Structure 1
């Protein structure tokens, strides 16, 4: 840090210390027996420990209510407590309180146990200054947390986070180190490190260089790991998986390393830390971040742009007159297998004009099937009003699924049914199918209607297209629907058959939709 930056950091730390001291005032009245019983409970109950000693971290200033730990916080803390020699990777999404728990709450919980659990703690950050700042958080608690001090005695003795090390009166030593910085000789008296936490070591610049990642990983598993006493002690990395080629990824690939992966959506589509975020708040994050950034930062799913499609292949153009299209197809990929709330539904409108393929309209959303069905009916009515004939397709597997019931219910409300045809082909592997049509983008046959340049559904679909790669864990419903529509357009061109959509009466008083 520069002198000015250090001065600012010190001022901010002092303000934080004042907050810690004020928030942890003691107003509890209890007998000695009650106090001992309370301390015993807090030693065994991580959630209760966090709620009592750290209200300045947990209480929401807007509501005045505490945000309790999530199950994954509790499970991780208990796992660490139970295993003095744990080697682990905690792959948690952004905003999951990784540093707060692993750098502050958990070590302080271990320190107050009846059996001594920590002698020397080392925090490793992406830089020395970053590690010192992280160290400052736990020093502030040990020095100014009145509740902790009242229950377990004065903690702080000497040293400072600004210098990268301090020690408590019970002779627990704390050190800060930056990535690649020599850790050799790290010890306090006769004790070597026994709690090493590597916090968000990777960054976007580092992971761009495989050579740098490999060199840093070698440092982690040799020089840094070697500071333990013959491998004894707790040693783990925390962070979110921002790249497949990262130090965290390499660490988690070690067979003996315990790995916990927490995404903002769990496997059932629920919010992993529901006490902190509402579904609407998470959706707002996804809307602002965009598909690829959200997958990387919040779903631990780093996606390499351009693995199959490249950004420069996305060509926008002025759409030809509707009469110039030889055929227009709407292909639906409802992705309605299972009950995941965060599944995407995709419906894509494509047309063929000469040798050009035009992407005309899109529906790509995390929503209910009913919302997608209403959009499809609205599109049908808009197309009818424009005099556009659209052929409607959906994968045949879904034609017998409960999703068809949604179309029938909406059709009964509107007074007609959509002329849906099942795509009955025996489909090859999805990656092979989508990759097979990618040359159409590369060779300049695919265009996007420029009137839809700011449409969020169209942009979400493009994000999924650019993110598409073999073995991806993210959503690929949009490029799958694109492939279905293009396959039908190309097939019909080969067979030289053009079939118009069946005319069916409109629902009375149907709402007007601007397309």
Structure 2
């Protein structure tokens, strides 16, 4: 190569555009030994290119290839010191996919205190903002103050997290807008905070509608008492909040089920939503009777040492009391801790706050202990003393179209234990008769009862005709006219449940 020839071409010998300034490239025009000059320029360009590329990435921001949980442990170590739970792994895996799957609606019900907000309302939107993956982010909570508190957590990390400031200099730090309810980062990303019920119609940030909406506990305890409050928040969510985005807007709803008709519970049944429910106790211990004894000790008002005595009782029987149990996040809340919470707060609060099962056991007809694993059976026992078949056709004047008809098979053994199997299905009258005769021939009951309320008594003649056609001798439906209130009839099962004399067919 002739070192005296002017190097006006902006590309190097390898065909790439030179990143070396023009004044430096003029060094090639100096009359130096050609070999030495080429060596000098090659190494200078390589070093400058590496430095220039790193500087550029630091100036404009970069998108880490780390998974969200790895990124969170790296930059938010204080918040992610414990190993993640199965909920965290599932949620983080879903969040990792959102940028490439626009229009996703994700609904996650997690126990109170399980750090779902730390992952979904802190780590995820923080990373999305720093890397400009989402240009316009909304944080929405039950009240404006709660939403602003979440935004304050984000602001604190942007200002005080030195590692973020070093690795994301174009985005971290205080931005051009830094208010209680809205911020704009140096890279142009906007984050705003809103409370349930706020007016949102027509809100934009420049040309952007919200690209990511993170909802964190949109309902509060008052919604458990008021159906009107639940309906109002539901209407605002579907009619105002979701309509504020576009078909490409990603929505993440994080909640704890406060009521069986709460918004998050409704979303588990709503088309278009990906939902998952997590419980603090994933699987209960196999022997709850020992825990009942333990709770008696732990709750004894006349024992000053009740906590220590209960702990000793547990440690002496730990293997048996832990057997079969599985908890969501043992590093944070082990089984003993959760059972203490259950005893202290009461089952109603525990089921709602930790199990996402918003029921009130005190308002239930029968206690949970009646329905343990012993209530199920797999195969019908031999030697039953009495067998009956009963039918509720659900074809009366007040029945709704599509109601289920129910056949119930019942057998009583020599100990007086009742074994029950139910067959529920939507069936036209002809199918009810055909299925009833087939079950009769298979089960061979001692009696066959058919509810005769309203015009259902007409089924009696159809069954008799079909029995005769198939040559089933001695079979005759017994028509039953029920006039007793259904709740009263259900309560009659109480003594059988209490004494453990009722079994249901599994599967």
1:425 aligned onto 2:418: yes
Matching of residues 69-84 of structure 1 within 5 Å: 69-82=84-97, 83-84=101-102
Matching of residues 393-412 of structure 1 within 5 Å: none
Picking from 335, 353, 370, the partner of 2:372 is 335
Matching of residues 157-168 of structure 1 within 5 Å: 157-162=175-180, 164-168=181-185
Equivalence for 1:277: 333
8 A Cα contact 2:268 2:276, kept in partner = no
| CA distance in structure 2 between the partners assigned to 1:189 and 1:130 by the alignment | 26
| CA distance in structure 1 between the partners assigned to 2:130 and 2:146 by the alignment | 26
Equivalence for 1:182: 199
TM-score by length of 2: 0.53
- Output one character per residue of 1:277-308: Cα deviation in whole Å (capped at 9) or x when no partner: 22221221122122121111111101146655
Matching of residues 184-333 of structure 1 within 5 Å: 184-229=201-246, 231-267=247-283, 269-304=325-360, 308-309=364-365
Equivalence for 1:483: 497
Distance 1:111 1:176, change over 3 A: closer
- Output one character per residue of 1:468-500: Cα deviation in whole Å (capped at 9) or x when no partner: xxxxxxxxxxx9787343989xxxxxxxxxxxx
| CA distance in structure 2 between the partners assigned to 1:171 and 1:120 by the alignment | 9
Equivalence for 1:370: none
TM-score by length of 1: 0.53
Picking from 89, 92, 97, the partner of 2:107 is 89
| CA distance in structure 2 between the partners assigned to 1:333 and 1:486 by the alignment | 7
Matching of residues 36-75 of structure 1 within 5 Å: 43-58=65-80, 66-75=81-90
Task: For structure 1, list consecutive stretches of 5 or more residues without a partner in the other structure.
Answer: 1-30, 59-65, 315-331, 338-393, 401-420, 441-478, 489-515
8 A Cα contact 1:241 1:301, kept in partner = yes
| CA distance in structure 2 between the partners assigned to 1:176 and 1:199 by the alignment | 11
| CA distance in structure 1 between the partners assigned to 2:63 and 2:187 by the alignment | 22
Distance 1:228 1:396, change over 3 A: closer
- SS of residue paired to 2:327: coil
| CA distance in structure 2 between the partners assigned to 1:235 and 1:294 by the alignment | 28
| CA distance in structure 2 between the partners assigned to 1:480 and 1:131 by the alignment | 47
Report how many residues are paired: 308
| CA distance in structure 2 between the partners assigned to 1:222 and 1:334 by the alignment | 41
Task: For structure 2, list consecutive stretches of 5 or more residues without a partner in the other structure.
Answer: 1-49, 284-323, 382-413, 423-483, 503-507
- SS of residue paired to 1:56: coil
- Output one character per residue of 1:295-334: Cα deviation in whole Å (capped at 9) or x when no partner: 1111110114665549xxx9xxxxxxxxxxxxxxxxx969
| CA distance in structure 2 between the partners assigned to 1:334 and 1:96 by the alignment | 28
How many Å apart are 1:45 and its aligned residue?
Answer: 2.5
Distance 1:295 1:118, change over 3 A: same
Q: What is the aligned-residue RMSD (CA, Å)?
A: 3.8
How many Å apart are 1:182 and its aligned residue?
Answer: 0.5
| CA distance in structure 2 between the partners assigned to 1:254 and 1:334 by the alignment | 30
| CA distance in structure 2 between the partners assigned to 1:205 and 1:484 by the alignment | 35
| CA distance in structure 2 between the partners assigned to 1:395 and 1:80 by the alignment | 39
1:148 aligned onto 2:164: yes
- Output one character per residue of 1:394-448: Cα deviation in whole Å (capped at 9) or x when no partner: 99989x9xxxxxxxxxxxxxxxxxxxx955333477xx9x9657768xxxxxxxx
- Output one character per residue of 1:16-43: Cα deviation in whole Å (capped at 9) or x when no partner: xxxxxxxxxxxxxxx999999xx99963
| CA distance in structure 2 between the partners assigned to 1:125 and 1:249 by the alignment | 17
Equivalence for 1:417: none
How many Å apart are 1:198 and its aligned residue?
Answer: 1.3
Equivalence for 2:144: 128
Distance 1:170 1:284, change over 3 A: same
8 A Cα contact 1:47 1:68, kept in partner = no
Structure showing greater Rg: 2
Picking from 108, 113, 132, the partner of 2:126 is 108
| CA distance in structure 1 between the partners assigned to 2:377 and 2:253 by the alignment | 46
How many Å apart are 1:52 and its aligned residue?
Answer: 1.6
- SS of residue paired to 1:47: helix
Equivalence for 2:190: 173
| CA distance in structure 2 between the partners assigned to 1:183 and 1:436 by the alignment | 50
Distance 1:119 1:486, change over 3 A: closer
